[in-house]
Amino acid sequence: MNDHPIKGIDIHWYSVIDAARATAFWRDTLGLNATWTGAQGAVFLLPDGSWFGIWQDEHWTKSHGLMLAVDDVAAAVAYYSAKGVRFGALGETPSCFNATAHDSEGNEFILHRSKDGSAGNERVR
């Protein structure tokens, strides 16, 4: 028995070079709800109740691993491309549709849609 079980992910953080520029990207370009902003970074609350944050770090290294749920990947790519977001090709696997993008700092993130229609925390409810 584990006396100290992991209960979940509290927040997913990305390292950024310029906190103000990155905050503007995630808040203004992608439309995320910033619940805290400061000189070093920001915290965003997503509609499914999960948290995402950015933090300016003098030892910046490229971040990746964030997959953001959307209803229609192709439509979302067209919308965010028009706002200046850079994307690679649309992808498809047996279980999802996806597109890799880059934020203002060069970090990678993925727009994602599961073929079963579930998103974010819905998978565990």
The CATH number for 116's domain is 3.10.180.10
Does a structural domain hold residue 85?
A: yes
Does a structural domain hold residue 2?
A: no
Does a structural domain hold residue 49?
A: yes
Q: How many domains does the chain have?
A: 1
First to last CA, the chain: 24
pLDDT tens string 42-74: 999 999 899 999 999 888 899 999 999 999 999
DSSP state of 39: T
Cα 36 to chain centroid distance, Å, stands at 16
pLDDT for res 26:
98
**pTM for the full predicted model:** 0.88
pLDDT tier at 78, thresholds 50, 70, 90:
very high
- Closest alpha carbon to 52 in 79, 86, 13: 13
Residue span of the structural domain in which 31 resides: 12-124
Confidence check: pLDDT of 12 > 70: yes
Does a structural domain hold residue 114?
A: yes
Mean pLDDT across 37-45? 97
Residues 112, 79: Cα–Cα separation, whole Å: 14
pLDDT for res 58:
87
Mean pLDDT across 21-28? 98
Whether 44 and 53 have beta carbons less than 8 Å apart is answered as yes
Of all residues in the chain, what percent carry a pLDDT higher than 90? 80
Does a structural domain hold residue 42?
A: yes
Half-sphere exposure of 116 (CA within 13 A, CB side): 6
| AA identity, residue 26 | W
Residues 57, 120: Cα–Cα separation, whole Å: 28
pLDDT tier at 6, thresholds 50, 70, 90:
confident
pLDDT for res 5:
84
Residues 69, 96: Cα–Cα separation, whole Å: 11
Whether 41 and 56 have beta carbons less than 8 Å apart is answered as yes
